[in-house]
Amino acid sequence: MSARPAAGARPPVTLAALAAQKARHEPIVMVTAYDYPSAQIAEAAGVDIVLVGDSGAMTVLGYDSTVPITVDEMLVLTSAVRRGLSTPLLVADLPFGSYEVSDEQAVATAQRFVKETGCDAVKIERGGTTVDRARAIVAAGIPVMGHVGLTPQTAVAIGGYRSQGRTAEDALAVARSAFALQDAGCFAVVFEAIPGEVTDAVMPRLQIPVIGIGAGAATDGQVLVFHDLLGIYDGHPARFVKRYADLRSAMIEGVSAYAAEVRSGAYPQPQHGYGMAEHEAAHLRELLDEEP
Ligand code: KIV
């Protein structure tokens, strides 16, 4: 695999570019982002796809699952990411309850995301009726990424935050959902938390790029949550998370050092402030003396 040119030198990532990357067996790198600085970091790191995941419900908004996040909250996060991003493909998660009711609801929500945030594509979870929603959104001209296996929006219904497809029958259901999403026109699909053996068996039957998270090494690419891989989020990490940094400790250390210096008087020093000519300062004192 060739080294990536410096960020900024690359043309924007397109659906065709991702398909060509799969054809070349060149791994696709996807990461989540939720705001302007995280988008700028993803841009500088040269990733291929940025997902404004509804995982932002937990990582940046403090909810205890992805379910409560609203369309308006996701629109704010996605718009901020758009402002920090120019090269990677920008995908936004449609939140729980914003697309399941009807094809009309799904298309209207997807159109809001594209019009109001400038995202390139949307992601929706599950097979079943979601396949129809995917087909309708694609027919409306908006690219769709599917998501099968562990689908956090419906975690209660699938038995919790646990790996899926661990029996042949369950794995076949996951595979059928992926095939149906491909047939519906999805440009890519996420496999979350399924055994590597299932991925190995299913991959030869998928022509669209598959992005894995806890789905083994055979997928066309990988995705991790920004806060997990950088060690910012304090929650219990899933088995598939690899931490590449411990920024939470570094941030606590930085803020603690600042707090200690404010309390000791070590901060601020003269170089951190602004000065005034002595004669102006003297004049100010005179003026203040005249004040009632
Ligand atoms: O919301 C999210 O971050 C996701 C990824 C884990 C794929 O859906």
The answer on 273 and 148 residing in a single domain is no
The pair of structure tokens assigned to 200 is: 């190995």
Residue from 225, 228, 241 to probe ligand 1 pocket by mutation (most atoms less than 8 Å from CB): 225
Over the stretch 214-224, which tens digit does the pLDDT of each residue have?
Answer: 999 999 999 99
Residue 184 has pLDDT above 80, yes or no: yes
Is 10 part of a structural domain of the chain?
no
Per-residue pLDDT for 165 more than 50? yes
pLDDT of 152 strictly over 70? yes
Q: Are residues 152 and 191 in the same domain?
A: yes
The yes-or-no answer on residue 73 being catalytic is no
Could you identify the atom of ligand 1 that is nearest to the CA of residue 211?
A: 7
Domain tally for the chain? 2
Domain of 75?
15-245
pTM of the model: 0.94
Determine which residue's CA is closest to atom 3 belonging to ligand 1: 53
Residue range 58-105, pLDDT digits in tens: 999 999 999 999 999 999 999 999 999 999 999 999 999 999 999 999
Structure tokens at 245: 């940094």
Could you identify the atom of ligand 1 that is nearest to the CA of residue 190? Answer: 7
What pLDDT shows up at residue 242? 96
Residue 2 falls inside a structural domain: no
Q: Are residues 47 and 164 in the same domain?
A: yes
Pocket-testing residue among 58, 65, 192, ligand 1, by greatest number of atoms within 8 A of Cβ:
192
> What is the CA(65)–ligand 1 centre distance, in A?
12
- pLDDT (average), residues 161-190: 97
- Phi, psi dihedral angles at 72 (to 5 degrees): -60, -40
Residue 56 Cβ < 6 Å to ligand 1: no
One domain for residues 129 and 265: no
Q: Which of 50, 55, 60, 190 to mutate to test the pocket of ligand 1 (most atoms within 8 A of CB)?
A: 55
pLDDT at position 3 over 60: no
pLDDT in tens, 232-248: 988 788 999 999 999 99
Ligand 1 neighbourhood includes 228 CB (under 6 angstroms): no
Do residue 135 and residue 204 come from a single domain? Answer: yes
Distance 196 CA to ligand 1 centre (A): 19
Same domain, 223 and 267: no
CB 165 within 8 A of CB 193: no
Phi, psi of 287 (to 5 degrees): -60, -40
Q: Answer whether residue 147 is part of any domain.
A: yes
Question: Residues with Cβ < 8 Å from 208, sequence gap 6 or more?
Answer: 19, 22, 182, 186, 187, 188, 189
The pLDDT of residue 233 is: 83
92/116 same-domain check: yes
Mean pLDDT, residues 32-37 taken together: 98
DSSP H helices in 84-194: 103-117, 129-139, 168-183
Mean pLDDT of 173-192: 98
CA–CA dist 173, 127 (Å, integer): 9
Query: What 3-state DSSP class applies to 73?
Result: helix
Calculate the average pLDDT of the chain.
96
- Ligand 1 atom with the shortest distance to the CA of 53: 1
**Does residue 239 share a domain with residue 283?**
no
Residue 4 located in a structural domain: no
Do 148 and 192 contact (CB within 8 A), yes or no?
yes
Both 194 and 256 in a single domain? no
Quote the ligand 1 centre to 159 CA distance (angstroms). Answer: 18
Is residue 157 domain-shared with residue 276, that is, in the same domain?
no
**In a shared domain, residues 83 and 59:** yes
**Pair 139, 192 in one domain:** yes
